[in-house]
Structure 1
Amino acid sequence: MIRSTNKAKGNISSVFAHLGASKPEIDPRFLELKKQIAPKNPTILRKAFDRLLNTMEKEALEIRQRGSAVIPEVTMEEIQSNGGRLPDKIISEVKKRGTIVIRNIVDRHLAAEYKSSIQEYIHRHPGIAGFPEDNPQKVWEVYWSQAQIQARSHPNFTATTVALNNIWHGDSKAPINLNNNLVYCDRLRIRQPGDGKFNLAGHIDGGSLERWEDPEYRRCYTKILQGKWEEYDPYDVTHRIEANMDLYDAPGGCSMFRIFQGWLAISKIQTGGGTLRVCPLVKEPTAYFMMKPLLEENMSTSEFMGAWPGRCQDITTEDHPHIVDNMVSVPDVDCGDGVFWHCDTVHAVEPYQNMTTDSSVLYIPSTPMCPRSSKYLKRQRITFEQGMTPPDFPANDCEKEFHDRATPSILTKEQKLGMGFIPFPEETNGIMTEGQLEAIREHNRIISE
């Protein structure tokens, strides 16, 4: 197999400047881009930004008062009893906060078995790449263990992703099917007690400069760039379907549309145990980091405040204090619980792991069916067959010769659907929108070519 990209070997630090990745030079052309996309009248964004600061200061009062409790929670049982949808009372909170904890997605004993199985897999194969490079023990470059395959397609996890997808909306003709979720194969974390190296500071995934540079991606934020951030809808999927989030073939860029990023806990994880931290707002932080580089006082430089080609967007105290100051840790979770956050949510990882046991998760996002994701799925399918690293990640190919890795021959029908080995049914009973049906038909065409 010949790779379709030229990604180098590496680990999770390869895409984070604050973990040691280089900061590529910002081309002077980005200064011209700023002039093109900023309103001609600089007072428009200045007034909009001032309104935003006032709103964020008000929101900060509740965030500081409630802490982790500000993040909504729901159980898998509540979703199931509500016809596979999030309860209405939860939806409004999730839309505001951008983050949710979902309890009991997978049986606690089964989730613990996933971890044990993966630990045995890693133990059988010394030399697997990971972070930190000199002593991998935290974020492993492992993608094809049988436990990961099982977790990604667990019926409850699939139902969870569909429930999350359906918080979003879009044009009925847009080629996306929120009811069909595809499987994006990502890494895992087993963070040992006392660790302070996996200090993942505030950032946003899904590209960085791409949000301003790619015309379709930029259209997602039209209202913000017009100074009308109050009218911005973070859950409109229409222009995200074809947004190019990886113009620079980043070693951690995402070619699929991760509508919600997420992880499944395979250990207990308490606050202080190296867990996830988020800014529990979506609209306001997005408006903040999108507008601030375009304010009049920042227009003399090509810099976009923490955005570099091929890197994640860094959110720092220096450039984004109103965001960083309002970050909170997610609530404590148990084995089998999941945490999910909007694709534009500012997030980080607690700097220290102070529990006496490991803090472990499987990274598994929510990725609805759309042509861009279907195209990636086809590329991912080939790497799975060969045991190579998935296309979005550093090309370590650690599992290529592992005889105990998962292979297509062990997949169930549901797993084959999610991973692009068999087509989805093309239902034409009038229930689906034009866009939903088009997404299925295009998906089936792409994976069959």
Structure 2
Amino acid sequence: MSTAEVVAQRSAVLPAPAPATAPALATVPLASMSKPPSALSGPSSTSTTTTTTTTTTTATATVDRIPVPFASSRPKRVRSPGLNRDEKQGRTPKQRQRSFTKTMEPPVLSFYGEKPVPLPSRFGHLKRRLAAGHEPALEASWGRLLAALREEIKHIERGGTDLIPSIDFNDIGNSISVSDFSERVKRYGIGVVRSVVAESDAETWVSETKKYLETKHEFKPPPAQDPTCFDFFWSPCQVRARAHPKVLQAQRFAMSIWDTTDDDRLATRFPICYADRIRIDTNTTSDLNVGNGTNLEDALPPATSSTLIAQVDNGSLERWEVDGYGRSGCYDAIWKGEWEKYNPWDPTGRIHATTDLYNGAGACSMFRMFQGILALTTVEPGMVRLLPSPKLSTAYFLLRPLFSPKTPAPEKRDASAEEWQAYLDPSNWALEKEQTTIIHGAVPGHAQRVTDTWHPHLQLNSSLIAPPTLRPGDYIVWHPDQAYVFDKPPPSLSMLVYTPAAPLTQTNALFLARQRKAFLRGHPGPDFDSTGSGLGSEAPHTGRLDEKDIEAVGGQEGLQAMGLAPWVIDKALVEESKAPTPTEEKENGNGALSQGISNGRAEGKISATEADLAREANIILFPDRFDFWMPSRMGTPSIDNGSKGKEKEIKAEQAA
């Protein structure tokens, strides 16, 4: 039977033709055949996801139509011409672009409201588990902690800005200057390294960055509660600062203050970059037009303007979570009621901690040993304030959710001093028998907040102090558990670059691989836009620096810090692990690091752990480099780049 006869036979049993309003043969444009079904039928009415409007380019030539003989005979719904969804909502083509789904704004009720937000029930179980078996010790330690805090606050009030040590960059090789600086940093958690970048270079970077920002027409405005923090990641000053050899040396010096050992799986001699944002505060007299027209005081709700709120980076709930900092027992001494034994400078419990369990917007997932800011303009005291007590303040805000007052706080802030003293007295506080689900200042996906309402014993109005005046090129660092706040706007243009100090670790190398891709593509840092769609892209922007610019600023070390070049380790410089001598232990305790001595190690020598970490990082970042993982003649993995070629040279020399 021929094809024509088959078609005729099937047509004979088809239903009667539909009315004239529904043609018997449906026609479909050829151009539409290439579209996915969703594009032909429109978005589903039951979909709960946001629909993104896209622009489709179609050819203007005549389109052939093909018959569809077995189309449904049901009358086809014909849409009358009219306004589409965008036109109905009055959206312009500019407004039809994908909305910014990632916001840095914290939940207002949790951080600025009168009462903290209760969390899911599992957090009540979590708090009970932390206290289980240690109840008497915790109650006793809480009393000791409040007494120590009372004296600590008095000490901070007396010392003020003078408590924060400073050291000139040229003196970081002076053992006497380093010893005093390191001791005070470990006591107060804050330090300033002067003249890391020349003032002339800082001025050039500011000028270059102003031009970069003013010519970028599409960018996400800063969040309402922090209108001076902009979501730029690859501006000229940021890229140059991260690769600058003196900045990397200052970071290496700062990280040496920690109580590290050769067995710790981190390498402070290999600082790596973290793509953070840029802080620009523009006064009305400034000529920089970047779009922020509000200040912090205007942005906060009027009912909460009297509440002082400080921030602690590197996670919030993660500090209580088993899968967060609990994985390596970072705060175990505190949970056991022995906060005096807690060492905030021991990195062991932090190397493998997960600081971002909830994929929060802007929540750091890299291990940072210091938060840091490089000043590119003069910063007068008061713009930023910090709490110089890394040990006591951390123990307090961790234990605070386990305790509650027997008598609530006075209703009025201007209540008598006797009323407030009675409220703050240790006898008025007790370990909760039935732990609530509240963890004060902590919610999933956001940084830890410390407030004068929920953490009254910290007395933030008195304990937050301003660092000394920062000149262009100065670098200030503070402990990652330290509370800080930006509150006083400067009188003129202020530009600060977030430049935290992070060591090389296995997890940091994995993060660096993602960050390198973001840099090459011009995308936001991985922690700030995990979807790749929320904050836009700097890729098309003119003036964006590339690998050649990084190499021009920082050479191979600058490229390595960005994951753009492998670490080259000479096997002859690798030392075997050995027990430190008393002299070395003393040097380690003081955090000494000069250009000749590093943790008691001779200049140029590196530990076997550091060499192994460099090898692992090279495998992660450059898996296509054959000689990084190929076993050597001795049966151990090769460490340095080009080792295979060196072995050939050795064999050739031996043969000769």
TM-score, structure 2 normalization: 0.63
In structure 2, relative to structure 1, the CA distance for the partners of 1:249 and 1:358 (3 Å cut) is same
Structure label with greater radius of gyration: 2
What SS does structure 2 have at the residue aligned with 1:89? helix
Deviations for 1:167-215, whole angstroms, at most 9, x for unmatched residues?
Answer: 1133532321011100111111111237334779301110100011144
Residue 364 in structure 1 maps to residue 364 in structure 2:
no
Identity of aligned residues (%): 29
How far, CA to CA, are the matches of 2:111 and 2:620 in structure 1? 38
Aligned partner of 1:377 in structure 2 is: 512
Aligned partner of 1:283 in structure 2 is: 391
Deviates more, 1:37-46 or 1:292-301: 292-301
1:223 alignment partner AA: A
Aligned partner of 1:230 in structure 2 is: 340
Contact 1:68 1:331 in 2 (8 A): yes
Aligned partner of 1:4 in structure 2 is: none
How far, CA to CA, are the matches of 1:397 and 1:346 in structure 2? 30
In structure 2, relative to structure 1, the CA distance for the partners of 1:112 and 1:9 (3 Å cut) is farther
Aligned partner of 2:537 in structure 1 is: 398
Aligned partner of 2:296 in structure 1 is: 196
What SS does structure 1 have at the residue aligned with 2:259? coil
Structure 1: segments with no counterpart, 5+ residues: 1-6
Contact 1:11 1:141 in 2 (8 A): no
Residue 208 in structure 1 maps to residue 316 in structure 2:
yes
In structure 2, relative to structure 1, the CA distance for the partners of 1:154 and 1:81 (3 Å cut) is farther
Deviation of residue 119 (structure 1)?
Answer: 1.1
Deviation of residue 409 (structure 1)?
Answer: 4.1
Deviates more, 1:11-20 or 1:394-403: 11-20
Once the two structures are superposed, the pairs formed by residues 169-318 of structure 1 within 5 Å of their partners are: 169-193=259-283, 195-197=295-297, 201-215=309-323, 217-218=325-326, 219-272=329-382, 275-295=383-403, 296-297=431-432, 299-318=434-453
How far, CA to CA, are the matches of 2:222 and 2:111 in structure 1? 14
How far, CA to CA, are the matches of 2:224 and 2:168 in structure 1? 37
How far, CA to CA, are the matches of 1:407 and 1:236 in structure 2? 36
Deviation of residue 15 (structure 1)?
Answer: 8.0
Match of 2:169 among 72, 76, 80: 76
1:442 alignment partner AA: E
Deviation of residue 320 (structure 1)?
Answer: 1.1
Deviations for 1:205-234, whole angstroms, at most 9, x for unmatched residues?
Answer: 101000111446121111111111111111
Aligned partner of 2:195 in structure 1 is: 104
How far, CA to CA, are the matches of 1:321 and 1:391 in structure 2? 35
1:232 alignment partner AA: Y
What SS does structure 2 have at the residue aligned with 1:374? helix
What SS does structure 2 have at the residue aligned with 1:293? helix
Aligned partner of 1:88 in structure 2 is: 179
1:436 alignment partner AA: E
Choose between structure 1 and 2 for higher RCO, CA contacts under 8 A separated by at least 6 residues.
Answer: 1
Aligned partner of 1:425 in structure 2 is: 568
Once the two structures are superposed, the pairs formed by residues 92-171 of structure 1 within 5 Å of their partners are: 92-132=183-223, 138-171=228-261
2:123 alignment partner AA: F
How far, CA to CA, are the matches of 2:174 and 2:246 in structure 1? 13
Structure 2: segments with no counterpart, 5+ residues: 1-98, 285-294, 301-307, 404-430, 576-604, 624-656
Deviation of residue 389 (structure 1)?
Answer: 0.8
Contact 2:105 2:224 in 1 (8 A): no
Contact 1:217 1:245 in 2 (8 A): yes
How far, CA to CA, are the matches of 2:132 and 2:259 in structure 1? 28
Deviation of residue 8 (structure 1)?
Answer: 6.1
Residue 345 in structure 1 maps to residue 482 in structure 2:
yes
How far, CA to CA, are the matches of 2:119 and 2:506 in structure 1? 31
Contact 1:11 1:129 in 2 (8 A): no
Deviation of residue 104 (structure 1)?
Answer: 0.7
Q: Number of residue pairs matched?
A: 434
Deviation of residue 86 (structure 1)?
Answer: 6.6
How far, CA to CA, are the matches of 1:38 and 1:436 in structure 2? 37
How far, CA to CA, are the matches of 1:253 and 1:231 in structure 2? 28
How far, CA to CA, are the matches of 2:334 and 2:250 in structure 1? 30
2:466 alignment partner AA: S
Contact 1:293 1:304 in 2 (8 A): yes
How far, CA to CA, are the matches of 1:133 and 1:229 in structure 2? 37
Aligned partner of 2:143 in structure 1 is: 50
Aligned partner of 2:129 in structure 1 is: 36
Structure 1 vs Structure 2 CA RMSD: 2.4
